[in-house]
């Protein structure tokens, strides 16, 4: 990576990579798609919906009662049938759907579409036998095993909505989500593998369920064969409940607006929001974007999305998009360094992966590990590379292109959100000339704008807030049980426009650059965590008086959590005592939210820097956390507070 920094990075904004002619000629989507969609946006989306199998066609493409949308009104379909059965019916049952790769070496499973169908049907039967029916909610708390995908599809098949909770979240986070969703059944595992060792999952469920009366049954996948506690009558092994079920399941078609899933995500205030997605429009856009953005050739491609099913990327681009398109994909259970820091590259070589979709934080980690590791493997099968989750810095983009893509694979930097359901902004391979670090522009059928603080468009060039100015098929249908919050959060900042919460600018060529969140949402390794959520976790500790949390720039994870905490009573002067307390606080946050929310640093301070009117000066805390020269502090009530905090931070930073 040595030559990829400095001057090269500086020149990237004006630098472009044109698609090679052969690619342009063979690409799925041609430049005309933009024109076509601009002339008739709804007609364009209706054509894309036509790629799916509908039992009953829709009467109306869009019913828009701002900010509430219904897409493909009157249409009926079954999402699971679209993702599985129709590929079997089309004669592709022998095609591999999942090459599953477990973390322990040689622990692999291949599932064809026929086998996937069998498993989904049996699981659907099992859920029905537990009393789950259309309209119910099922919570899925699983590691990256095929049963995660199978469970999601089984819910979809019977019209129940799933809410997947990332396995890294704590039992407290599970309680919040299960309670809010009133889930009937939880699907979990004894444990999963994490960096070579089995780690437990079921204890978190057991603990959570003491406070979740809505749950009647727990299905437990046997993955690690750890000992587990068992509640008779409530808990069932997956193998007992599923394997004995009939292999056929007659799927019913549901309304296009049937809830498909809830996915909880952090916002700038309060508890995580249950983002609601429904069926027809969501699947249309997930499938179309997956096909177009990755230039997908389902007969020949081997696609690999490295996201966990617990995040929206694992929903739209591991489960629904790829399976709706009938492609073969890799699903990997473990961490990038399990079995060696070149594990990913050996997987790509083994399965002949052609499309890789991952996050900038992973790329930056691999840059640190060195380019000799990917160089050991034959990755000539790769042809398209994707990035998602946070802005990709030009250095990482160039490294991805050169070292992983052999300077021949187009990179698609895809901007979207849990709320948007599917990719909104991205180049198209074969069509768009790309600039390193830029997501380029909206996809066909998508209308974005960049507006100033008053909601006025900045025009062709200039910076401001990213908004979406027209409804789109996979848009969230609301926040579960809270229409007011839905309106307030997304539709009230700017009249008639969806406020994404991201800053953006058009450059002199009218190319779009995403600039990160403009609210209190941090982006840690591509995961959304809000500052207020971590602050609430910290102040729930009996010894904490006040806490301020900021996201500080981090060379690998994009941002890192830094917390400034004042303590009730005496803060011990004893070095190890304070250190011990900091460890206790970090663990407390992990218990309240999950290990992903553990602050990188916690600075104990007798006071927090406040203005004379009592407002915490967050900007200043960011400067302190990022070790920048501090500007004007004269507006502070007590400027000496800052000097003290800055010194403590300096000591912590030099230690780490
Ligand atoms: C950020 C993940 C810049 C952004 C799919 C957004 C990005 C938030 C990009 C959504 C990108 C995602 N460039 N920023 N290509 N992709 N983001 O809901 O701040 O987990 O608002 O969805 O991630 O995160 P979420």
- Is-cis flag, bond preceding 67, omega within 30? yes
Structure tokens at 208: 């959570």
Residues 497 and 447: their CA atoms lie apart, in Å, by 10
Going from the Cα of 523 to the center of ligand 1, the distance in angstroms, rounded, reads 8
Going from the Cα of 275 to the center of ligand 1, the distance in angstroms, rounded, reads 15
pLDDT score, position 266: 87
Upper half-sphere CA count for residue 511 (Cβ side, 13 Å): 19
pLDDT score, position 7: 41
Residues 532 and 267: their CA atoms lie apart, in Å, by 9
Structure tokens at 537: 């976790």
pLDDT score, position 269: 72
Helix, strand or coil for residue 226? coil
Residues 352 and 499: their CA atoms lie apart, in Å, by 40
DSSP per-residue codes, 154-180: HHHHHTPEEEE--TTB-HHHHHHHHHH
Contact 625, 601 (CB under 8 A): yes
Q: How does residue 613 score in pLDDT terms, banded at 50, 70 and 90?
A: confident
Residues 536 and 532: their CA atoms lie apart, in Å, by 6
Q: What is the DSSP letter of 103?
A: S
pLDDT at 468 over 90: yes
- Tell me the sheet residues that pair with 303: 329, 355
The CA-CA-CA angle for residues 268, 494, 72, to 5°, reads 90
Rounded to an integer, the average pLDDT of 357-366 is 96
Q: Pick the more confident residue, 271 or 254.
A: 254
Cβ-based neighbour number of residue 22 at 10 Å? 9
Domains of the chain by range and CATH? 3-446 (3.40.50.12780), 521-655 (3.30.300.30)
Upper half-sphere CA count for residue 163 (Cβ side, 13 Å): 29
Ordered strands of the 448-451 beta sheet: 448-451, 462-468, 498-506, 512-517
Residue written as token pair 């095609």: 95
Instruction: Report which protein residue has its CA nearest ligand 1's atom 25.
Output: 417
What is the number of the ligand 1 atom nearest to the C-alpha of 418? 18
Q: Is the CB of 389 under 6 A from ligand 1?
A: yes
Q: How does residue 6 score in pLDDT terms, banded at 50, 70 and 90?
A: very low
pLDDT at 195 over 90: no
Q: Is the CB of 501 under 6 A from ligand 1?
A: yes
Least confident of 5-19, 96-110, 511-525, 616-630: 5-19
Q: What is the pLDDT of residues 52-69, one digit of tens each?
A: 999 999 999 999 999 999
Backbone phi, psi, residue 388, to 5°? -155, 155
- Tell me the sheet residues that pair with 530: 521
Going from the Cα of 379 to the center of ligand 1, the distance in angstroms, rounded, reads 27
Contact 283, 324 (CB under 8 A): yes
Q: Is the CB of 414 under 6 A from ligand 1?
A: yes
Rounded to an integer, the average pLDDT of 535-540 is 93
- Tell me the sheet residues that pair with 413: 387
Q: How does residue 252 score in pLDDT terms, banded at 50, 70 and 90?
A: very high
Structure tokens at 402: 């050169």
Residues 158 and 136: their CA atoms lie apart, in Å, by 9
What is the number of the ligand 1 atom nearest to the C-alpha of 425? 15
Residues 55 and 267: their CA atoms lie apart, in Å, by 37
Backbone phi, psi, residue 585, to 5°? -65, -40
Going from the Cα of 558 to the center of ligand 1, the distance in angstroms, rounded, reads 12
Rounded to an integer, the average pLDDT of 380-405 is 97
Measured in Å, how far apart are the chain's first and last C-alpha atoms? 23
pLDDT at 408 over 90: yes
Name the range with the highest mean pLDDT among 187-201, 415-429, 571-585, 601-615: 415-429
Going from the Cα of 643 to the center of ligand 1, the distance in angstroms, rounded, reads 35
pLDDT at 3 over 60: no
Q: Is the CB of 391 under 6 A from ligand 1?
A: yes
């Amino acid at each position: 990576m040595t030559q990829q920094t400095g001057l090269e990075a500086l020149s990237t904004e004006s630098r472009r990579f044109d698609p090679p002619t052969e690619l342009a000629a063979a690409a799925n989507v041609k430049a005309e798609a933009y024109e076509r969609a601009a002339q008739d946006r709804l007609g364009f989306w209706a054509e894309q919906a036509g790629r799916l199998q509908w039992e009953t066609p829709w009467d109306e493409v869009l019913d828009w009662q701002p900010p509430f949308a219904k897409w493909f009104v009157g249409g009926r379909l079954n999402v699971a049938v679209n993702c599985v059965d129709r590929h079997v019916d089309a004669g592709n049952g022998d095609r591999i759907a999942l090459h599953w790769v477990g973390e322990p070496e040689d622990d692999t499973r291949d599932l064809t579409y026929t086998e996937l169908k069998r498993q989904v049907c049996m699981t659907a039967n099992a859920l029905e036998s537990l009393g789950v029916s259309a309209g119910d909610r099922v919570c899925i708390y699983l590691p990256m095993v095929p049963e995660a995908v199978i469970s999601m599809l089984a819910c979809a098949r019977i019209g129940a909505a799933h809410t997947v909770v990332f396995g890294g979240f704590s039992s407290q986070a599970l309680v919040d989500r299960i309670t809010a969703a009133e889930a009937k059944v939880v699907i979990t595992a004894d444990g999963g593998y994490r960096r070579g060792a089995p780690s437990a999952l079921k204890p978190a469920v057991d603990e959570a369920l003491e406070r979740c009366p809505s749950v009647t049954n727990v299905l437990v996948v046997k993955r690690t064969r750890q000992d587990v506690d068992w509640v008779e009558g409530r808990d069932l092994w997956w193998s007992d409940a599923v394997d004995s079920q009939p292999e056929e399941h007659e799927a019913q078609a549901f309304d296009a607006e049937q809830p498909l899933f809830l996915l909880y995500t952090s916002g700038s205030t309060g508890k995580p929001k249950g983002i609601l997605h429904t069926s027809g429009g969501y699947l249309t856009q997930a499938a179309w974007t997956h096909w177009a953005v990755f230039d997908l050739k389902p007969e020949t491609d081997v696609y690999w999305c490295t996201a966990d099913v617990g995040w929206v990327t694992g929903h739209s681009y591991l489960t629904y998009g790829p399976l709706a398109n009938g492609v073969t994909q890799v699903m990997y259970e473990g961490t990038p360094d399990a079995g060696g820091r070149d594990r990913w590259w050996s997987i790509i070589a083994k399965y002949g992966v052609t499309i890789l979709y991952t996050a900038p934080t992973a790329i930056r980690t691999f840059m640190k590990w060195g380019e000799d590791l990917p160089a050991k493997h034959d990755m000539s099968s790769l042809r398209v590379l994707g990035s998602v989750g946070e802005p990709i810095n030009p250095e990482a983009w160039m490294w991805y292109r050169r070292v992983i893509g052999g300077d021949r694979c187009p990179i698609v930097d895809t901007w979207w959100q849990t709320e948007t359901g599917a990719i909104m902004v991205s180049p198209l391979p074969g069509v768009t000339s790309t600039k390193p670090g830029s997501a380029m522009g909206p996809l066909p059928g998508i209308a974005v704008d960049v507006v100033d603080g008053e909601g006025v468009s900045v025009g062709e060039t200039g910076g401001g807030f990213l908004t979406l100015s027209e409804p789109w098929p996979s848009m969230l249908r609301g926040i579960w049980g809270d229409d007011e919050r839905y309106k307030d959060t997304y539709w009230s900042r700017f009249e008639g426009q969806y406020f994404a919460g991201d800053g953006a600018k058009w450059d002199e060529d009218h190319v779009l650059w995403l600039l990160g969140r403009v609210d209190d949402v941090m982006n840690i390794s591509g995961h959304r965590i809000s500052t207020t959520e971590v602050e609430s976790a910290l102040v729930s500790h009996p010894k904490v008086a006040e806490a301020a949390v900021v996201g500080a720039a981090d060379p690998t994870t994009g941002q890192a959590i830094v917390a400034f905490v004042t303590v009730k009573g005496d803060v011990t002067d004893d070095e190890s005592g304070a250190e011990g307390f900091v460890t206790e606080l970090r663990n407390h946050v992990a218990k309240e939210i999950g290990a992903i929310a553990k602050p990188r640093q916690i600075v104990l301070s007798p006071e927090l820097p406040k203005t004379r009117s009592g407002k915490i000066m967050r900007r200043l805390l960011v400067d302190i956390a990022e070790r920048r020269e501090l500007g004007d502090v004269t507006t502070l009530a007590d400027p000496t507070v800052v000097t003290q905090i800055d010194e403590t931070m300096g000591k912590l930073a030099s230690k780490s």
